[in-house]
Amino acid sequence: MTENEKKIRAQERERFDFAVIAQWIPPAERVLDLGCGDGTLLRYLRETKAVAGYGVEIDHASVLGCIRNGVDVIQIDIEGGLSGFEDQSFNHVIISQALQAMHATERILTEMLRVAEEAVVSFPNFAYRANRAAIADGHMPMSEDLPYTWYETPNVRFFTIADFEALCGKLGIQIRERLAFDEAGQPVTDDPNLNGSLAFYRLGRVR
């Protein structure tokens, strides 16, 4: 696959991710996007759902990308919490394929459901069958959902669907809906922890 083909495929995958998330976001909501990158997701939600909100990002180049995309962005490190936001100040808070790059996982999840009525989380499932096969073959996995080599990955947490659901149980977080997809973008219902490459969750307030 050429570099251009890889870029096109990555863009297609990104649009797919956005569409899955958008189905859970009602029109005209207030949305907070954590680890928002260049703000492409918020721009998509603004264009398709007329949402209002902010992106949160630490990387300077990504913050400039948000500005170019016309997205309101706040440059803070979410590892330290979301103390600058009042309780229930948003309808939805999103962290899309960034939780695995965070250290303060528990704090982030509980803070998300402090500042918003509902949270949407997506992440690559490390227990996906192709990833297990790579490990069995003696190598760290690489895929469309885990696209980095082991020595350059930004990921610091390698967790699975089963791990994430166990953590939600520990924190008293309600799982309102789960969707899992394979690498071809097909929905998975049979043993998602084995057959799902990418997982999406709609989470309710901490009890």
The lowest-confidence range among 4-13, 37-46, 69-78, 109-118 is 4-13
CATH class of residue range 3-204: alpha beta
* pLDDT score of 13: 65
The tens digit of pLDDT for each residue in 88-139 reads 999 999 999 999 999 999 999 999 999 999 999 999 999 999 999 999 999 9
Instruction: Please tell me the pTM assigned to this model.
Output: 0.89
* pLDDT score of 172: 95
The DSSP bridge partners found for residue 144 are: none
The tens digit of pLDDT for each residue in 151-171 reads 888 888 899 999 999 999 999
**Mean pLDDT, to the nearest integer, of 142-152?**
84
* pLDDT score of 99: 94
User: For the chain, which residues make up each domain, given as ranges?
Assistant: 3-204
Q: Report the chain's C-alpha Rg in angstroms.
A: 17
* pLDDT score of 84: 87
* pLDDT score of 143: 82
- Quick one: three-class SS letters along 20-76? HHHCCCCCCCEEEEECCCCCHHHHHHHHHHCCEEEEECCCHHHHHHHHHCCCCEECC
